[in-house]
Structure 1
Amino acid sequence: MASVLLPHIRNIIFDLGDVIIPIDLRAPIRNFATLSGLREEEVEAIWQEHGITMQFETGLMDDAGFRQHVRRLLKNDAWADEVIDTAWNTVLLELPVERIHRIRQLQQRYRLFLLSNTSTIHIRKVNQMLTSLGQPPLEELFERVYYSYEVRLAKPSPDIYRHVLKTAGLAPEETVFLDDNAANIRAAGELGILAVQVQPPLTILDYLNEPTDESVSRTR
């Protein structure tokens, strides 16, 4: 796997889920189905019909509003906040600390940014996981973090990439964007960003390894 750290690259933008931390997108559906006694298909249909994830991740609902919405739609007013948060956070799998080590190494040579469609509950959990591993929180790993719920935009909207480029002062041709989602990659690439889809079994450790003399010479 050739490194994407080409000589002209100065900036790296990371997605979070399935780029830095592995995720299981169906895990919350399974867990809320178990809690509610509904079938997974029923819970998934409710999620899609009401756009719960998108509303939460674009800041249209705060934590309390999200939890109350879940209680109402799944017809259980007795669930404590912690029950809902735990089920919601099952999307997050074990965090590979070696990826964090590589990001910290890259801090010395590149401007690093995080761009994620995410929610406040997930970010708190990821930061707890980082702390438990003796690592700094996301806000210290990156020069700046861009969370969808804060900027009120979500990938793959071109506006969210334009927002990052403008506010961070980045030249797209000097910028690499790493994401697992093909639509997000296409949208970033159309703006001139070097957009790379991270696909298993490869990880950012493969894409962000030190370039060899051969790979560098091919870019000249």
Structure 2
Amino acid sequence: MQKPKNIIFDLGGVILNIDFRQTALAFAELGIGNFNEYYTLQSVTPLFEKLETGAISPDDFYDGFRHLAKMPALTNDQIRDAWNALLLDFPPERIAWLKKIKETYNIFLLSNTNQIHYDAFTQIYRRQIEDASFDDLFITAYYSHTLGLRKPAREVFETVLAKEKLPAGETVFIDDSLANVEAAQSVGLQGIHLPSPKTVFDIGL
């Protein structure tokens, strides 16, 4: 692999620890035992697709989820808390590592997420790491709900490369999803697949 000048990181499973099972369990406690039919790392239903591309607001999502689950008594807070249960923690050593490699590489973030999760994980960062903006760790942080595009669409990567004027061959993309890495490679990016239990410390940058 050519030594890159630029690195684009995924968030969940790469920088932020996540566990989808926690959200499935939280929804099961609310009486929704089939959450994996609505959302997994590999596939999402139209309602979640709209949330993660910013096509609907959180309030519209809560209404849509009550309808989808056929549970009109669920409150917004119950849905929000169960949906956020997958967000765990930012290991301090990963954040320290990011700050160190900023001295050598231009670093960016590209994450499939949504306003509900964004509000939650930025608060987790402030509470666990430092009272500062998580986004400021990067030259630019790109999120699917503000881009209007979601990985693994090729257009996501083409958009980031164009906005930042990055040569694809000098840029590496790191993600825990193989489909996302393959999509990045299809537009000329170098790709690193980082499945659990591997971490950024196994990359060798």
User: TM-score, normalised on structure 1?
Assistant: 0.83
Shift of 1:72: 2.3
Match of residue 94 from structure 1: 89
Larger mean Cα displacement after TM superposition, 82-91 or 131-140: 131-140
Which structure 2 residues correspond to residues 39-54 of structure 1 after superposition, within 5 A? 40-41=33-34, 43-45=35-37, 50-54=45-49
Match of residue 215 from structure 1: none
Map Cα deviations across residues 45-95 of structure 1 (whole Å, 9 max, x no partner): 355795322121011211111111122222344433322211101111222
1:163 to 149, 159, 165: 159
Seq. identity, %: 34
Match of residue 183 from structure 2: 187
Match of residue 134 from structure 1: 129
Map Cα deviations across residues 106-125 of structure 1 (whole Å, 9 max, x no partner): 22222111101111111111
Larger mean Cα displacement after TM superposition, 131-140 or 76-85: 76-85
Shift of 1:176: 1.1
Q: SS where residue 7 of structure 2 aligns?
A: strand
Aligned equivalents of 1:145 and 1:113: distance in 2? 6
Shift of 1:97: 1.3
Residues 46, 73 of structure 1: 8 Å contact kept: no
Alpha carbons of structure 1 residues 141 and 34: separation in structure 2 relative to 1, 3 Å: same
Aligned equivalents of 2:204 and 2:78: distance in 1? 37
Residues 90, 129 of structure 2: 8 Å contact kept: no
Match of residue 173 from structure 1: 169
Aligned residue type for 1:173: G
Aligned equivalents of 1:130 and 1:50: distance in 2? 29
Alpha carbons of structure 1 residues 118 and 9: separation in structure 2 relative to 1, 3 Å: same
Gapped runs of 5+ residues in structure 1?
Answer: 210-220
Residues 92, 129 of structure 2: 8 Å contact kept: no
Aligned residue type for 2:199: T
Larger mean Cα displacement after TM superposition, 138-147 or 67-76: 67-76
Alpha carbons of structure 1 residues 116 and 79: separation in structure 2 relative to 1, 3 Å: same
Question: What is the root-mean-square deviation in Å for CA atoms of aligned residues?
Answer: 2.0
Shift of 1:208: 4.6
Gapped runs of 5+ residues in structure 2?
Answer: none
Map Cα deviations across residues 107-146 of structure 1 (whole Å, 9 max, x no partner): 2222111101111111111111111123333221111111
Match of residue 60 from structure 2: 65
Aligned residue type for 1:200: S
Aligned equivalents of 2:154 and 2:95: distance in 1? 28
Aligned equivalents of 2:20 and 2:190: distance in 1? 26
Detail structure 1 runs of 4+ shifted over 6 Å in the superposition.
none
Alpha carbons of structure 1 residues 26 and 52: separation in structure 2 relative to 1, 3 Å: farther
Match of residue 100 from structure 2: 105
Q: SS where residue 85 of structure 2 aligns?
A: helix
1:147 aligns with 2:139: no
Greater C-alpha Rg: 1
Match of residue 81 from structure 1: 76
Aligned length: 201
Match of residue 14 from structure 1: 9
